[in-house]
Chains A and B, each alone.
Chain A
Amino acid sequence: MAKVTVDGIEVEVPNGASVLQACEAAGKEVPRFCYHERLSVAGNCRMCLVEVEKAPKPVASCAYPVAEGMKVFTDTPVVRNARRGVMEFLLINHPLDCPICDQGGECDLQDQAYAYGSDMSRFLEAKRAVKDKDIGPLIKTVMTRCIQCTRCVRFAAEVAGTPELGGTNRGENMEIGTYVEKALTSELSGNLIDICPVGALTSRPYAYVSRPWELKKTDSIDVLDAVGANIRVDARGPEVLRIIPRINEAVNEEWMADRGRFSFDGLKRRRLDRPWVRKDGKLHAATWPEAFAAIATKLSSLPGDRIGAVAGALADAESTLALKDLMAAYGSANLDCCDDFAAIDTSRPDFYRFNTTIAGIEEADALLIVGCDPRKEAPVLNARIRKRWTAGKFPVGFVGPRGVDLTYPVQHLGDSPAALAGSAFLETLKAAQKPMLILGRGALQRPDGAAVLAAAWKIAAETGMLKPDWHGFNLLHHFGGQVGALELGFVPGTNGKGLNAMLTGGVDALWLLNADGFDPARIPAGTFVVYQGHHGDEMAARADVILPGAAYTEKDATWVNTEGRAQRGRLAIFPPGEAREDWRIIRAYSEGVGKALPYDDANAIRARLAQASPVFARVGEVARGGCANPTGPAGDAAALNNVPFALPIAVYHQADVISRASEVMAQCAAIYGPQQALAAE
């Protein structure tokens, strides 16, 4: 530790820290453009100049290491003059187009020009202009505004692992871009918009849409992948206008995946905004009482074990619980939350959670990935793996299709379960102190899914991943609603039927809560289908009764991420038309059929949630621990068949109902679709 005095305030910072960090520790604000805590230090904007005692000139505090007894001054005439000079230089080539710039109101350059700039420019010559680059449908570029801080270049190379941006040419002609015109191939590209300190990189879908001060900002959770990134939903009136990440060091740091960020325009399209009831083979618009009556008539005519319920990928915990309770009231144990047929063992939570935790990845020292493409299934989590890989000494083994680029090098061990046995990489894992394994949920969707789960667990047990103080077995889920339903035990009960049995004549009525994961053609012709959801995707077309629900931005709901971390999403806008919050729909229905559920407000159902599973009692936290019991899941590890693993998400940008309704995502899919992936190999 080094003692540093900043403006008379003494602080202690670790050796090797920068002067800028010392200033922050002392609570002093230091303006900066190129410096970013999560990126390497470039030191090229020169805005963070401070005075250091005995230094002959002002120093760039971001790139200057502290020394014992150093005296730093952040607010002297020299510093103020120096910063004013730097700001004048930065503004020489920066256009005065703030009134038409989307960054206006949340622009670092604008704010800092106010605070540190002078009132007028002395530059009389012609400003330079730079041609805008086309780097894909998500990011709009106005390169004349670029101040060449190179944050985007460093982000793409370091965090995203797709080094496609660079600074070409030199001096006054230097430009940031891809040189060869191409769309960025990162699933994290939206973060470039956040880290750009000026208006050079802005959101294309949000272009000229709104000003930051007009937006209602609501903290929520991204549910379009199972990471559970903390987000802020910015809305105006009835519309979500943009989604940006919030900082949560344990989950998403400050990053966010593109699908969650840009697919919200799908919330306005193909929405179910009123109940529908099928009469004479055709769906007719109906009222809530009519829809409820149609369901009640059908369900009351059936014995409990002929009714089934499926909760899907985007079902929140509250409504899943309400549906489970409703089914219990009907006497049905036919529940399934794996609408993708994943063979998940819920007998113990660590069989289906990401036990190492996302932050825990940084402690691991060897990794085996099985049947999973974390880059597509959980881009933010993949960035964490890459962060760990960048830190060094992190061998990664991969079992899955050849030619998958995870943004860090992997040892490809094979493409089928056979590669799991007897591989030399297992010795690497055994030699490691904290080895971990990531099993993709997609690998459990195979017919031998239970065997894959058991085999993966067996490897974890044999390679020392399951220790009292370290749990290295991880299942990576795909969507925000999946783990919540597992925590609530939304699985076949005693004598209950699973989804496969329900789809092969096991039930006569099926209540689908956001269940879009399987092909509707698999539902037998005679089955009465209630579809409760928010998008008129394929499954809704098969329904006999449609109950319009709320999307994740339209309800106060609890979501559980792949780690088993419960987090609350909040209502940002109201659901369209007659759509309602999902658990309230089920509660209202239960009242009408005389099976009233024992909760009627948010607090009551949350108390019930906390009762059902402890994860809901400690929202925002995750119970991390070692593995107390190395006994594996029920599957027979020897029953593996040798079919190669297929990756479940073929088109990253259209993996869920919301993004399938989104125009922006459709454009992305056209550009980054599977044919593109083939060409890249």
Chain B
Amino acid sequence: MSAPAHEEPASFAFDAESEAKIATIIRRYPEGKQASAVIPLLYVAQKQMGRLTGSAWVPRVAMDVIAERLSMPPIRVYEVATFYFMFNMKPIGRFHLQVCGTTPCMLRGSDEVMRACKDAGGVAGPGETSEDGLFTMTEVECLGACVNAPILQVDDDYYEDLDYESTVKLIEALKRGERPAPGSAIGRRSSEAAGGATALKGAEQD
């Protein structure tokens, strides 16, 4: 991917909500080190695109705006943005289904989760977007929630302990415009043992 092969918006400007976030972000860095804010600003741009267009990605013009804002050469922003998989360099669907495929999730059935995404979401394969434009599925590396494997990250939310049926249910709900509560699909609390807590019982009473 050297040059974008998709439609690029002609212009990009941060809206009021983004500007408010940017103001607090830039304050975190010492004077003259504003370039450090490039990753948070890329997130802000991606979020804003998701909010306004329904597709959370970072167009080139947005990177140029960020470069100018942080007084850095545009190429330095391109380098950072293309390095991290978390930034989408081309338009994606309304929901970004990020299936963890690393070993623990794979052993716990991430292949089934992926199959469910394909079947229910209508996505042809990793990196593809469904025809209705609702879902883009990507296979990602370890999401760091192995104890609740397998994981499906939808935009920013983790859905845990999934299997084929629960994934299909989740996707159907997303299609209806609902946002099911994130967390375990089998009802366990955070990463407690599957059958309920076995240690530190009653700890909260103390």
Q: How far is the CA of A178 from the CA of B4 in the complex (A)?
A: 12
Determine the chain A residues whose CB is within 8 A of the CB of B76 once the complex forms: 163, 166
Given A170-B82, A170-B83, A180-B60; A165-B3 close (CB under 8 Å): no
Per-residue B-contact encoding for A160-190, CB less than 8 Å = 1, 0 else: 0001111111100101011111000000000
B75 close to A165 (CB less than 8 A): yes
A210 to chain B, nearest CB (A): 30
B73 close to A179 (CB less than 8 A): no
Instruction: Using CB atoms, name the residue of chain A closest to B83.
Output: A170
Q: How far is the CA of A180 from the CA of B74 in the complex (A)?
A: 10
A508 to chain B, nearest CB (A): 58
Determine the chain B residues whose CB is within 8 A of the CB of A163 once the complex forms: 73, 75-76
B190 at the interface (CB under 8 A from A): no
Cross-interface CB contact of B73 among A133, A164, A177, cutoff 8 Å: A164
Tell me the total A-B contact number using a CB cutoff of 8 A: 41
A366 to chain B, nearest CB (A): 21
Given A133-B2, A157-B73; A179-B78 close (CB under 8 Å): yes
A180 close to B73 (CB less than 8 A): no
Determine the chain B residues whose CB is within 8 A of the CB of A164 once the complex forms: 73, 75
Determine the chain A residues whose CB is within 8 A of the CB of B73 once the complex forms: 157, 163-164
B67 to chain A, nearest CB (A): 10
Q: How far is the CA of A165 from the CA of B76 in the complex (A)?
A: 9
Residue picked from B73, B75, B79, B82, most chain A C-beta under 10 Å: B75
A279 at the interface (CB under 8 A from B): no
A96 to chain B, nearest CB (A): 24
A169 close to B1 (CB less than 8 A): yes
A548 to chain B, nearest CB (A): 48
Q: How far is the CA of A164 from the CA of B75 in the complex (A)?
A: 6
Determine the chain B residues whose CB is within 8 A of the CB of A179 once the complex forms: 2-3, 75, 78-79, 82
Q: How far is the CA of A175 from the CA of B1 in the complex (A)?
A: 9
B2 close to A131 (CB less than 8 A): yes
A167 close to B2 (CB less than 8 A): no
B192 to chain A, nearest CB (A): 36
Determine the chain B residues whose CB is within 8 A of the CB of A165 once the complex forms: 75
Q: How far is the CA of A131 from the CA of B60 in the complex (A)?
A: 20
A168 close to B3 (CB less than 8 A): no
A416 to chain B, nearest CB (A): 29
A209 to chain B, nearest CB (A): 27
Instruction: Using CB atoms, name the residue of chain B closest to A173.
Output: B1
B60 close to A169 (CB less than 8 A): no
Q: How far is the CA of A164 from the CA of B74 in the complex (A)?
A: 8
Q: How far is the CA of A169 from the CA of B73 in the complex (A)?
A: 17
Per-residue A-contact encoding for B1-26, CB less than 8 Å = 1, 0 else: 11100000000000000000000000
Cross-interface CB contact of A166 among B1, B3, B75, cutoff 8 Å: B75
Determine the chain B residues whose CB is within 8 A of the CB of A178 once the complex forms: 75
Q: How far is the CA of A555 from the CA of B78 in the complex (A)?
A: 49
Q: How far is the CA of A133 from the CA of B82 in the complex (A)?
A: 17
A168 close to B60 (CB less than 8 A): no
Determine the chain A residues whose CB is within 8 A of the CB of B75 once the complex forms: 163-166, 178-179
Residue picked from A157, A165, A166, A173, most chain B C-beta under 10 Å: A166
Determine the chain A residues whose CB is within 8 A of the CB of B83 once the complex forms: 168-170
Q: How far is the CA of A267 from the CA of B44 in the complex (A)?
A: 55
Determine the chain B residues whose CB is within 8 A of the CB of A175 once the complex forms: 2
Determine the chain A residues whose CB is within 8 A of the CB of B79 once the complex forms: 166-168, 179
Q: How far is the CA of A180 from the CA of B60 in the complex (A)?
A: 9
Instruction: Using CB atoms, name the residue of chain B closest to A163.
Output: B73
Residue picked from A131, A167, A168, most chain B C-beta under 10 Å: A168
Q: How far is the CA of A388 from the CA of B167 in the complex (A)?
A: 61
Instruction: Using CB atoms, name the residue of chain B closest to A181.
Output: B3
A143 to chain B, nearest CB (A): 9
Q: How far is the CA of A168 from the CA of B82 in the complex (A)?
A: 6
Q: How far is the CA of A638 from the CA of B110 in the complex (A)?
A: 83
Q: How far is the CA of A168 from the CA of B1 in the complex (A)?
A: 9
B5 to chain A, nearest CB (A): 11
Instruction: Using CB atoms, name the residue of chain B closest to A143.
Output: B2
Residue picked from B2, B76, B82, most chain A C-beta under 10 Å: B2
Q: How far is the CA of A270 from the CA of B1 in the complex (A)?
A: 44
Determine the chain B residues whose CB is within 8 A of the CB of A168 once the complex forms: 1-2, 78-79, 82-83
Q: How far is the CA of A133 from the CA of B3 in the complex (A)?
A: 10
Q: How far is the CA of A169 from the CA of B78 in the complex (A)?
A: 9
Determine the chain B residues whose CB is within 8 A of the CB of A131 once the complex forms: 2
B26 to chain A, nearest CB (A): 21
B188 to chain A, nearest CB (A): 36
B168 to chain A, nearest CB (A): 33
A180 close to B82 (CB less than 8 A): no
| A8-55 contacts to B (CB < 8 Å) | none
A177 close to B2 (CB less than 8 A): yes
Q: How far is the CA of A157 from the CA of B79 in the complex (A)?
A: 14
Given A164-B73, A178-B75, A180-B60; A169-B3 close (CB under 8 Å): no
Q: How far is the CA of A167 from the CA of B2 in the complex (A)?
A: 10
Instruction: Using CB atoms, name the residue of chain A closest to B85.
Output: A170
A169 to chain B, nearest CB (A): 5
Instruction: Using CB atoms, name the residue of chain A closest to B79.
Output: A166
Instruction: Using CB atoms, name the residue of chain B closest to A164.
Output: B75
B70 to chain A, nearest CB (A): 13
Per-residue B-contact encoding for A105-124, CB less than 8 Å = 1, 0 else: 00000000000000000000
B63 to chain A, nearest CB (A): 9
Q: How far is the CA of A133 from the CA of B60 in the complex (A)?
A: 18
Determine the chain A residues whose CB is within 8 A of the CB of B3 once the complex forms: 179-181
Q: How far is the CA of A311 from the CA of B75 in the complex (A)?
A: 46
Q: How far is the CA of A131 from the CA of B3 in the complex (A)?
A: 10
Q: How far is the CA of A464 from the CA of B1 in the complex (A)?
A: 55
Q: How far is the CA of A170 from the CA of B74 in the complex (A)?
A: 18
Q: How far is the CA of A175 from the CA of B78 in the complex (A)?
A: 12
Residue picked from B74, B76, B79, B83, most chain A C-beta under 10 Å: B79
Q: How far is the CA of A168 from the CA of B83 in the complex (A)?
A: 6
Determine the chain B residues whose CB is within 8 A of the CB of A133 once the complex forms: 2
| B153-188 contacts to A (CB < 8 Å) | none
Determine the chain A residues whose CB is within 8 A of the CB of B60 once the complex forms: 180
Q: How far is the CA of A173 from the CA of B79 in the complex (A)?
A: 12
Instruction: Using CB atoms, name the residue of chain A closest to B1.
Output: A169
Q: How far is the CA of A466 from the CA of B79 in the complex (A)?
A: 47
A220 to chain B, nearest CB (A): 35
Determine the chain A residues whose CB is within 8 A of the CB of B82 once the complex forms: 168-170, 179
A481 to chain B, nearest CB (A): 38
Instruction: Using CB atoms, name the residue of chain B closest to A175.
Output: B2
Per-residue B-contact encoding for A349-370, CB less than 8 Å = 1, 0 else: 0000000000000000000000
Instruction: Using CB atoms, name the residue of chain A closest to B82.
Output: A168
Determine the chain B residues whose CB is within 8 A of the CB of A166 once the complex forms: 75-76, 78-79
Q: How far is the CA of A179 from the CA of B3 in the complex (A)?
A: 6
Q: How far is the CA of A177 from the CA of B78 in the complex (A)?
A: 11
19 pairs, A vs B, C-beta closer than 8 Å: A157-B73, A163-B73, A163-B75, A164-B75, A165-B75, A166-B76, A166-B79, A167-B79, A168-B82, A168-B83, A169-B1, A169-B82, A170-B82, A170-B83, A179-B2, A179-B3, A179-B78, A179-B79, A180-B78
Closest 8 CB pairs of A and B: A163-B73, A166-B75, A168-B82, A179-B78, A166-B79, A169-B82, A170-B83, A181-B3
Beyond A166-B78, A168-B82, 14 additional pairs, beta carbon < 8 A: A131-B2, A157-B73, A163-B73, A163-B75, A163-B76, A164-B73, A165-B75, A166-B79, A167-B79, A169-B1, A175-B2, A177-B2, A178-B75, A179-B3
